[in-house]
Every structure is written in C-alpha cells, then in structure tokens.
Amino acid sequence: MTQAGFFALVYAAGLAFNLAWGPRRDAVLACALAFPCGLTFWVLGALLGVATGLASAPAFGLGTLVALVVGSAAASLRRACTPISWTRVAACSAAFVAGAVLVSQFSLAKFSPDSHQFLRIAAVFSRGGRLGETAAFLADRGIFTFLSYAAGELAGVDFMFSLAPVVGLSLAALLAVAISRALEREGVDRRTRLLASAGVTAAVMTTYVIAFHMVYIHANLGSALYLFGFGALFWLAERDGDASLLSPALVCLVAFSIHRVEAPVFAALFAVLAAWPSQLPRRLLAAGLFAFGAITAGWLLLLSAAIPSEGEFLTPGRAVLLSAMSLAPLAGLPLAARLPRALVARHLPTAVLVVASVGLAVTFAIKPHHMMTSLEAVVVNLLGVQIGLFGYAWWAALALGALCLATPPSRIARPLLMGVAVSVIVVVLLGFFRVPYRVGPADSAGRMFIHFLPLLYFLYAVKLVPLRRWRASAAEEAG
Amino acid sequence: MRARRVLGAALLAGLVGLIAVQVRELPRQQSRGSSDRRFTLRPEADIESLAARSRSDTVRFRYGLWYWLARQLPGTTIRVTHGTEPLLSPLRGVGDIQVLPWNKTTSLELTSSSSRKLLQRATGEFRLPEGRLHVLVDPRADEYVLLTLGGAPYFILPRDQLGRRRR
C-alpha cells in the first residue's frame, strides 16, 4: 500500500460511515467529512489494539476500517429509500484522491523535536508496541497523533509525510462546505454564499501558523479540524433539527478529546454548552454523549494506571479527574432536561463564563507573578504581529467579535461563541499548573489557539453574513 | 438598507484586505525565528536526511545523529546507566535499536572514574544539544553502553563500526 492508497482507504471508510449514519442526503458534506471521520475510526481501532494488546495497532486500525466499510454498506442498503447523489460523491471523491496523490509525491514535512517524538512513538506502535513501553510519552501528548502516524509501515514509507497536508486540505474543504451550508440554511443567496465561504476559508488557511501546520508534524491542526467539525455540525444539526449530523459531530468530539492531554477539558466544555440547551432528541444526545464519555473516560482511566505518578502534564490523579469531566456532559443531561430549555439556553453560557472567570481570578491571587508572565506571553503570541504566529488574525477576530455584539443574539451560535471565550480563559488558567507560557512559535498556549480560530470564523460568518436577516431576527427577539 | 450595504461592503473589503496581508506576509514570516519555518518542497521523504539538514540545532544534533546511529547499528541493544536514559531516550522507536538499563554484568575495561583519562582515550565524539558525546572503542566490552562519568557522556562500543561520521 502507498500513502495515497492509505488515505483513499481511510476516506472510503469515512464516506461509507457518513452515507450510512451521517448526512446521507448531502453528498458534498458527507464527502467533506469522510477523511476526518475515517481517520478517527482508524485511530479508535488502533487504540483498541494498544489497550487490549491482542494485536498491533495497525492491524486493529485496518480491521476497523474494513469492518466499517462492510457494516456501513449493509446499513446503507437498509436505508436505500433516502436518495444519494452518486455523481456528486464521485466528483468529490475524485477530487480527494487527486489531492491525496498530489501531496503524496513530495515531502513537505516540517519538524521540531516534538515532531520526531510523535514519529518515533508512532513507529513503536506500528511495530506492535504496547501501552507500558510508551506510557511516559503518553503523559505528555494525546494518543491520536501517535496512532494516526502509526500507518507509516503499512503505507510503505519512512514516515507519513503527507498526513499533515491531507488533514489541512480536509479542514479547508470542511470549512468551505460547512459555511456554505450554514448560510444556505440562513437564506443567503448562492453568490454571497460562495463568496463568503471562499473568503472565510482563505482568511483562515492563509493565517501563517495554520498554513505552517499544514506541513508541520504536530497535533494542533488535527485538534482544530475536529473541534471545528463538532461545532459546525452541531450548529447545522441544531439549526434544522437534522439529527443525522449528530453522529459525525460526536465522532469529531471524540477525536478532539484524545488529541492532547488537556483536550478533554475543552471537549467537555463544548459538549455541555452545545448539548444541554439543545432542541435535538434527548435520547440521541444521550447516546452520543455516552459514546464520548465511555471512550474518553475509559482511555484516561487505562492511562492513569500506566503513566508515571509524577509529571508536569498528565498524572494518574489528573487523568482520573479528566475522565470524570468527560462523563459530566452525560451525567448533567437529565438535570438539564428537567429545566426549561429557554432558561438553560439563556443562563448556562453565562454561568460557565462566570465559573471560569472566578477560577482564573483565584489562580491570579495564588500565583500573581507566574500567571501574569503566562498572560503576557499569551497576549503577545496572539496579537504580536511581529511574532509571526497569527499575524492580524486575532485582531480581526476581536473586531468581528465586537461587531457581533451589535447583532441580535443567536440561540445556536451563542453557546458555541461562549465556548470559545471560556476556552481562552481556560487556556490561561491551565498555565497555573505548569511552567509559565512563553513568547514564541513553540509555546503550547499559542499553538492551542489554532484550535479555536476556524470555529470562531465560522460562527462570525453565520452571524454576520446574513445581514438582511438582522432586522427580522431583532423583531423575533423582541416578540 | 443602505447602512447594511455599507457594512457588507466594509466586511468584504476587510476580509479581502486580511487575506492579502496574510499572503504577502507568508514569505516574511518564514524567515523569522531560528527553527524550520521555511516551506520547502523535497522529492524524497527520508527522515534521516531531513533531520540531518534541519535548521534547528536540537533536531540536527540529536535526531540527525540517532537516526544515523540506528541505521549504522541495526539490531543493537544499547545499555544505559541510571540518569543517562533521557540522553538516549530519543532513540526509542528509531530503527531496530533497543534501549535497556545497564545490568552491570557487562565487562568494561574502562572502569576508571577519572573522566579525564577516558577523554584522552576517546576515539571520537558526536555533537548533541546537551554537549559532546565521547566515543570509546573497547574490544573487551560485550555490549554497547552509554554512561556518564564526571558529568560527561560516553558511548562505549565493543568494536568500531561507526564509519566517518564522528567529529
């Protein structure tokens, strides 16, 4: 097998999943979700191999992809009454394969010491490595990137040098399609939709740090892809009550939560803000949150027994705490269901913001110098144009955020926007538990802000582009 | 209606301006900093040569060496003394090399605690981000051993098979 062949297999499995249990009626969206979902199933299969030790990670990953294709095809046959636009599927799939083949011809990969660590541990897993021999590394980094790069031997290459570009192209495709679909649901005309989706996608993807991560071997662009996938799909599902988008949305949430050691905090935060006030069927939400909680908490508990007791990042105690956090969205769902939805929707985001702000204030009171050093580094990394990470991207985000405050509040976008705002606070807060953040491209907090930028720009687009609806929305709110 | 049009035009102009600035800034951003930030297109994907050519000292001195070492010593077990493991830990997962703790049954001629004497007998050295790694060939040794004496790291080889890369 070649790299491009592996990407095509992952894409085929993800496409089969989406046509069976995802947006079957929207072939273009199903294709845009195919690679991200397929890669998640590869990783989850490989994770099962690592956790059980019954076979190597690639063997389990490959088995999972094949089982997914067969199972999804069988499920699709049972749902044959829903038509699929095979012409669009063929066109989008051909575009994906052409892109994958093209980027597999060259090595564009960029490295840092972290990248080499990812590749070495991926190599250990690809040769049948077990949890015990890699646990010390897993206390510092999420398992997703290790396992996604563990396909190198299977693909017959020294390392998966084209995975990062394919992840980047998937993000660009999903961003463009999701913005277009969201604006379509908001009644925006076709020309404006095309202009807005192309413009916003270009604005996100030309941000230096994001363009760089399209060739740089690390975990941040994947995190951005999956957090965006969850947020955008949840927005689309909630907008029209389309429950078929819940399955890929929750697949994205699971993928995001195992990308980095602190990711379960953010995953749980977004799950709570999106699911508790949701008008989607509670039973489906509960099933999705159960799957998210079971996978994330199960993995963290397993990890807590294997990792060293002392460490700067993940320790056994912290792993147990994070596993409890992963179960919180499911545990709180029955309580949220008993309260009036409007009450939850209105007050939950504010309550979460207040709790996070109080937590941040406490950390500043305990370690003022440490936290100020971290905060200054975060501000410089985000807004310092000369630092060369985000350029003007966060300046533009702040300006657009201020403009959003002038628009009528949106029931669906508000919790997600608040999720990004609270995440910013949580990133600074997490600096309390480690050495202070530092100015420069290698800083962890600076790279974490990559995760939120695509989702933030998507939410701005769906709030600001349908300008002609502002007055109508204002009238609805007043009514 | 007019105000909304003006706002729409302003948003569009801002978006186009942002994209234009970011595209123009890309080449300038790459040249900043000391790490590998320049986009380059290479026809090959050999991780060893990529690491050896890296602009980052840490990548070049540490990983460039370990990838090369793994190719030079396939199927080797390297024993490490307590405290030396972090130095060699980047080798984990590189090629067919095992890194295990030193069981101290290995016979070494070089058991002197005087690092100066060892330094004089070193046949070569490698550059690492942490400093110099001195190489000693001990024909009576049974295994490859990495140890630290007097704060300086030494790599003991039972026979010289590391070619000309040492410097």
pLDDT in tens, B21-62: 888 877 666 655 444 555 565 655 577 777 777 777 777 777
What band does A389 get if pLDDT is binned at 50, 70 and 90?
confident
CA distances from A123 to A57, A365, A448, B63 (A): 10, 44, 25, 14
Q: Coil, helix or strand for A410?
A: coil
What is the percent of chain B with per-residue pLDDT over 70, rounded to a whole number? 60
Give the least confident one: A268-282, A358-372, B142-156: B142-156
- What digits encode the pLDDT tens for the residues A141-159? 899 999 999 998 888 888 8
Question: Closest Cα partner for B84 from B68, B97, B102?
Answer: B102
Residue B94 to chain A, least CA–CA distance (Å): 6
Interchain contact, A392 vs B22, CB within 8 Å:
yes
Question: Does residue A449 surpass a pLDDT of 90?
Answer: yes
Sequence-distant contacts of B86-91: CB under 8 A, at least 24 apart: B87/B128, B87/B130, B87/B133, B87/B146, B87/B148, B87/B153, B88/B146, B90/A116, B90/A117, B90/A120, B90/B62, B90/B63, B90/B66, B91/B66
To which H or E segment does residue A318 belong? helix A316-338
Q: For position A40, what pLDDT does the model report? A: 97
Q: What is the dihedral of CA B105, B110, B111, B114, to 10 degrees?
A: -160
Instruction: Determine contact: B29 vs chain A, CB below 8 A.
Output: yes
Residue B131's DSSP bridge partners are: B128
Least confident of A3-17, A163-177, A403-417, B142-156: B142-156
Phi and psi at B155, nearest 5°, equal -115, 115
**Per-residue b or e along A243-275, where b marks 16 or more CB atoms closer than 10 Å to that residue's CB:** ebbbbbbbbbbbbbbbbbbbbbbbbbbbbbbbb
User: By CA distance, what is B14's nearest residue in A?
Assistant: A396
Question: CA nearest A163: which of A217, A211, A118, A210?
Answer: A217
pLDDT surpasses 80 at A88: yes
A267-282 mean pLDDT: 93
**Cβ neighbours of A188 in B, within 8 Å:** none
The pLDDT value given to residue A36: 97
Residue A249: band (very low, low, confident or very high) from pLDDT cuts 50, 70, 90: very high
Mutation target vs A (from B50, B88, B97; most A CBs, 10 A cutoff): B50
The SS3 assignment for A161 reads: coil
Residue A158 to chain B, least CA–CA distance (Å): 6
Mark which residues 208-237 of A lie under 8 Å from B by CB: 208, 211-212, 215
Return the residue matching tokens 């009626």.
A25
**Mean pLDDT for chain A overall:** 89
The rounded distance, in Å, linking the Cα atoms of B65 and B51 is 9
| Domain ranges within chain A, ordered by starting residue | 3-469
What band does B167 get if pLDDT is binned at 50, 70 and 90? very low
How does pLDDT run across A94-110, given as a tens digit for each residue? 999 999 999 888 877 88
B16 part of contact set with chain A, CB < 8 Å = yes
Coil, helix or strand at residue B155: strand
**pLDDT tens, A30-80?**
999 999 999 999 999 999 988 888 888 899 999 999 999 999 888 887 766
Model pTM score: 0.88
Does A327 have pLDDT greater than 90?
Answer: yes
Q: Is B3 on the interface with A (CB under 8 A)?
A: no
Q: Which residues of A touch B44 (CB under 8 A)?
A: 107
pLDDT of residue A13: 95
**Are the beta carbons of A441 and B14 separated by less than 8 Å?**
no
